Structure 1
């Protein structure tokens, strides 16, 4: 009796979820690859538990098996002909080199003239290439240029991106367009991805390494740019079965922790005495001030707060709260869906915005830049760039830890995945309210 096979699980490789499997013995004659690695195109940070990736690899595996079965049964695939070779053959025969769809549209007389080449010379007719050229050739897949790589990747990721908001999709596209443009400049021009050599990747790596050492950009930023191209290359290579070499493997810069410094939390005393002093933020508009207040006491991400709708804000509930959902946009992870109690300055701020922050909806990047610029210009970043608006999220987590809030409740409030096996439904609204009320700042007069 055959042993039941375990379901395939996504594998974390280079920060992305992959389908990795061996070619079954029964299909070895139709697929020479011993080990198959196909990228799902889903980043691990976007799907930490591999929930979406698990669905993706099962679909990919079904498609693989379908392809193997078709090849094994002799089902014909597309008969591709080298386009340049087809044109040269047509020139030798003295006929126009036309594609199959163009031949079909020919007038009857022209079509008969083409077929005459086969009738006149049986030996020529036996030439498979000549027969295909006369009948109209089907060119092989066009080369994928670096300049087209983002388009191809975006097409293959359309189902993975369907929950992203227009702003999120625009940012995804802009980031990768910029990265590809940089790569093309480094190489001195566009080229097909099939022509990429390891030397090209090392040239890109050296470019980013030089920027780290001479311009002070972080290793994280450099690796992010390299990995974006690598992920798109691997995705297109896998899905389109191009069978190109893994030229990007181990291309990331080595990080010894010298250049990448994490953002650090604001001290609780600094928040209470400086940031929550009404005079400190007076020159910042009310909406931005209120966003700071909400983040300070909930630990929510800026993108989660600016995109709240009226139906997500519950100010008259026994415990006032906001509901973080992925209605019109993609959240960072499934655990980002959560209810957050409103206490202290967060409750005061949200009472001014019962319908949300319409002015800044889908504009979190612009708001973040605006607030951080204000903090810089008004000397409100004691640790320089290591302090930012996001530091308030770090601060809330530290404040919860200092009052001995349990790990699972802390992670539930932050919207983080729980490490290890997770039991039950997690912290409820009352539990989270208990801990957030315990660390709430004093609400200053005039705020």
Structure 2
């Protein structure tokens, strides 16, 4: 963007970007490579402020031109919404706009200029809602949902973000492959019947393959969340077809506990750690008496191993990752084979093959 002073008056001047080549035309209808617009001021400060506004409006107009040229109905609709926004209006479809108060309609018409200087067709269509409303397919909704909710996950580690994203992608992939294997329609064409078809698909898999109902219910929950949040944050009014799909029979799996004898004879047996490197063995030893998750040990910085206290403990804090639940933040005593030394290198107490406590490198 640039401004030039011509005989004491300022003008906005911009070279047309390559991606809009041939689309931007002058008053004679021929393509142009540079545009120029009067700013009607002799103040440089005022000219800069006006030029910034014109830059945004023109770029939105050119994006709408490009979207219409490439034949993408969705891109054309999104560009029209953006273009209406920079002109000071919320995009409203023409049939909806016609039922609005007359003041709003007149205001939009007045914004389009006088009879001898009308706006471009792209601006007119955007302001008057003449571009058909087009919704994305479910994969497109997922991409927008991830972008719309990115601030929710600022405290997650990269690994946590990846797992969170994978579960949502898996749910969408399962639904599309089960219900729409040959094409993925816009979401306004997805019905409750389609969601129930997906539920039946999961029911058959559970019955035939012996899968857990909880696995299916996770898919339903992810899809309902994606759909509902996207509609809310984009002001799209569509019934959520994935609500209340949960299958009965989902049981909480109780993992069997390790007996004292099993731990002593297996985990702490002579040579039990021969297949592990020293760091993996140390992590296991810390977990034995504490019940810590592996990531809680590996992600903890050295200063969270509080070894100089009367009772040594490890402090569980976020440390660049999101805690699973709020009460996960805690302090866990380090006793027995899970105990640490106060050595500056942060060595961990472990068991030697003879059963004696020795220092292991962390």
Query: Is 1:155 the equivalent of 2:155?
Result: no
Residue aligning to 2:225:
231
Residue aligning to 1:240:
234
User: What secondary structure does 1:323 align onto?
Assistant: strand
Give the Cα separation in 2 of the matches to 1:134 and 1:223. 41
User: What secondary structure does 1:339 align onto?
Assistant: strand
Q: Residues 312 and 340 of structure 2 are in contact (CA less than 8 Å); yes or no, is this contact kept in structure 1?
A: no
- Which of 1 and 2 has greater Rg? 2
Give the Cα separation in 2 of the matches to 1:235 and 1:354. 45
Q: Residues 175 and 198 of structure 2 are in contact (CA less than 8 Å); yes or no, is this contact kept in structure 1?
A: yes
Match of 1:197 among 184, 191, 195: 191
Residue aligning to 1:344:
336
Structure 1 unmatched runs, 5+:
1-75, 84-99, 105-110, 118-128, 357-442
Match of 1:213 among 201, 207, 231: 207
- Offset of residue 222 of structure 1: 1.6
User: What secondary structure does 2:135 align onto?
Assistant: coil
Query: Is 1:250 the equivalent of 2:244?
Result: yes
Q: Residues 278 and 446 of structure 1 are in contact (CA less than 8 Å); yes or no, is this contact kept in structure 2?
A: no
Equivalent residues in 2 for 1:70-89, closer than 5 Å: 78-81=90-93
User: What secondary structure does 1:176 align onto?
Assistant: helix
User: What secondary structure does 1:159 align onto?
Assistant: helix
- The change in CA–CA distance for 1:198 and 1:294 in structure 2 (over 3 A counts) is same
| Larger relative contact order (Cα-Cα within 8 Å, sequence gap ≥ 6) | 1
Give the Cα separation in 2 of the matches to 1:353 and 1:290. 14
RMSD of aligned Cα (Å): 3.7
Residue aligning to 1:295:
287
- Offset of residue 296 of structure 1: 1.3
- The change in CA–CA distance for 1:298 and 1:170 in structure 2 (over 3 A counts) is same
Give the Cα separation in 1 of the matches to 2:165 and 2:228. 17
Deviations 1:211-265, CA, capped at 9 Å, x for gaps: 21222221111211221111111111222232211312221111164xx633221
- The change in CA–CA distance for 1:240 and 1:131 in structure 2 (over 3 A counts) is closer
Give the Cα separation in 1 of the matches to 2:162 and 2:125. 43
Residue aligning to 1:444:
355
- The change in CA–CA distance for 1:355 and 1:209 in structure 2 (over 3 A counts) is farther
Give the Cα separation in 2 of the matches to 1:193 and 1:134. 22
TM-score, normalised relative to structure 2: 0.60
Give the Cα separation in 2 of the matches to 1:190 and 1:351. 60
Give the Cα separation in 2 of the matches to 1:162 and 1:278. 44
Deviations 1:193-214, CA, capped at 9 Å, x for gaps: 2221111111211222222122
- Offset of residue 137 of structure 1: 5.4
User: What secondary structure does 1:322 align onto?
Assistant: strand
Q: Residues 143 and 192 of structure 1 are in contact (CA less than 8 Å); yes or no, is this contact kept in structure 2?
A: yes
User: Which stretch shows the higher mean deviation, 227-236 or 315-324?
Assistant: 315-324
How many equivalent pairs are there? Answer: 250
Give the Cα separation in 2 of the matches to 1:212 and 1:198. 21
Q: Residues 300 and 316 of structure 2 are in contact (CA less than 8 Å); yes or no, is this contact kept in structure 1?
A: yes
- The change in CA–CA distance for 1:134 and 1:115 in structure 2 (over 3 A counts) is farther
TM-score, normalised relative to structure 1: 0.49
- The change in CA–CA distance for 1:160 and 1:133 in structure 2 (over 3 A counts) is closer
Give the Cα separation in 1 of the matches to 2:273 and 2:91. 68
User: What secondary structure does 1:160 align onto?
Assistant: helix
- The change in CA–CA distance for 1:146 and 1:352 in structure 2 (over 3 A counts) is farther
Give the Cα separation in 2 of the matches to 1:209 and 1:160. 32
Structure 1 moving runs of 4+ over 3 Å: 111-117, 129-142, 348-353
